[in-house]
């Protein structure tokens, strides 16, 4: 994601700039924003809020153009990758379990890959985990293309149960995944809360295997609209009715 990561060693934290804190773990780099108030609209009512630079500070602050005096209190905004990285003591007293948050999906539409790094295993060894993710189907109409009066929703559920397919194999069960929709004011709509489920796939030759799949629980509108944090290998994953 950042060129600085090329010089980082495993487990090292670094700041590529004053607005981000990054950590390198087993070749994966995860970053959280240090200025979360910049990524969401302020909580108080104001018809023309804007961000302004504050002398001597890195983070910008919201002000209201109506009087240009009152600073607005921003809503709490979670880190870019969801929740903060987690730490806990493992059964092995010499092992402190560390698990990073899931990275953003590698694709803004269609199926991509999300990753995280953890040492939550008996060997206390750092490993990279992956899960299949789909923020929204490609071709989903944006807010700008919707007719006047049509309601925009941040989160929508698949209209009918679907089967996931992976590498030519289909999931044993059907699911009704949620997708992120469009935001009324042009901001991007991204997952806010997700969970990971194990999905069993069955191939035509009878072989079965299990893959982790991201399930969206809720989405949010924000100005933080990055694309993939890493160039990840694309996989052939689709859904079928």
CA distance 110 to 238: 8
Place of tokens 């299990």: 210
Average pLDDT in the 165-188 region? Answer: 84
Strands (E), 4-136: 13-17, 20-25, 28-33, 49-52, 61-64, 86-89, 96-99, 111-118, 127-134
One domain for residues 129 and 150: yes
Place of tokens 């402190």: 96
Look at residue 99 in the predicted model and tell me its pLDDT: 84
One domain for residues 225 and 181: yes
- Looking at the predicted structure, is the pLDDT value of residue 77 above 80? no
Give the single-character DSSP code of 175. B
Residue 98 has phi, psi (to 5 degrees) of -130, 130
Average pLDDT in the 13-29 region? Answer: 71
One domain for residues 137 and 79: yes
One domain for residues 102 and 197: yes
Cβ neighbours for 173, distance < 8 A, ≥ 6 positions apart: 163, 199, 200
One domain for residues 79 and 189: yes
One domain for residues 11 and 57: no
One domain for residues 65 and 155: no
Give the single-character DSSP code of 38. G
**β-strands 127-134, 188-202 pairing:** unpaired
**Of the segments 16-30, 111-125, 151-165, 227-241, which one has the largest average pLDDT value?**
111-125
Q: Which of 55, 74, 93 is the last residue of a domain?
A: 74
Report the number of distinct structural domains present in the chain. 2
- Looking at the predicted structure, is the pLDDT value of residue 9 above 70? no
The neighbour count for residue 29, using CB atoms within 10 Å, is 21
One domain for residues 64 and 173: no
Question: In terms of residue numbers, what domain contains 63?
Answer: 41-74
Could you report the per-residue pLDDT of 189-235, keeping only the tens digit for each? 889 899 999 999 999 999 999 999 999 999 888 777 755 333 333 33
Give the single-character DSSP code of 84. P
Cβ neighbours for 68, distance < 8 A, ≥ 6 positions apart: none
One domain for residues 29 and 144: yes
Residue 185 has phi, psi (to 5 degrees) of -95, 15
One domain for residues 128 and 10: yes
Q: Which of 74, 92, 118 is the last residue of a domain?
A: 74
Q: Which of 29, 53, 74 is the last residue of a domain?
A: 74
One domain for residues 207 and 138: yes
**Quick check: 228 and 107 in contact, CB under 8 A?**
yes
Arithmetic mean of pLDDT over the chain: 71
One domain for residues 135 and 224: yes
SS3 of the chain: helix, strand, coil, percent, to 5: 5, 40, 55
């Amino acid at each position: 994601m950042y060129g600085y990561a090329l010089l980082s060693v495993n487990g090292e934290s670094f700041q590529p700039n004053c607005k981000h804190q990054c950590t390198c773990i087993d070749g994966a780099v995860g970053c959280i924003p240090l200025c979360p108030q910049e990524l969401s609209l302020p909580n108080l009512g104001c018809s023309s809020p804007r961000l302004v630079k504050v002398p001597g500070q890195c983070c910008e602050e919201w002000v209201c153009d109506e009087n240009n005096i009152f600073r607005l209190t921003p809503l709490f905004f979670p880190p870019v990758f969801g929740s903060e990285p987690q730490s806990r003591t493992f059964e092995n007293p010499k092992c402190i379990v560390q698990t990073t948050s899931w990275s953003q999906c590698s694709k803004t539409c269609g199926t991509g890959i999300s990753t995280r790094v953890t040492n939550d295993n008996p060997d206390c060894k750092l490993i990279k985990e992956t899960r299949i993710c789909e923020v929204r189907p490609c071709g989903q109409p944006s807010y700008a293309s919707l007719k006047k009066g049509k309601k925009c929703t941040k989160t929508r559920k698949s209209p009918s149960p679907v089967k996931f397919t992976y590498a030519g194999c289909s999931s044993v069960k059907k699911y009704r995944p949620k997708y992120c929709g469009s935001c009324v004011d042009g901001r991007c709509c991204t997952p806010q809360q997700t969970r990971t489920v194990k999905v069993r796939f069955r191939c035509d030759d009878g072989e079965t295997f299990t893959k982790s799949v991201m399930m969206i629980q809720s989405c949010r509108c924000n100005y933080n609209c990055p694309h993939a944090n890493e160039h990840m290998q694309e996989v052939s994953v689709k859904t079928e009715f």
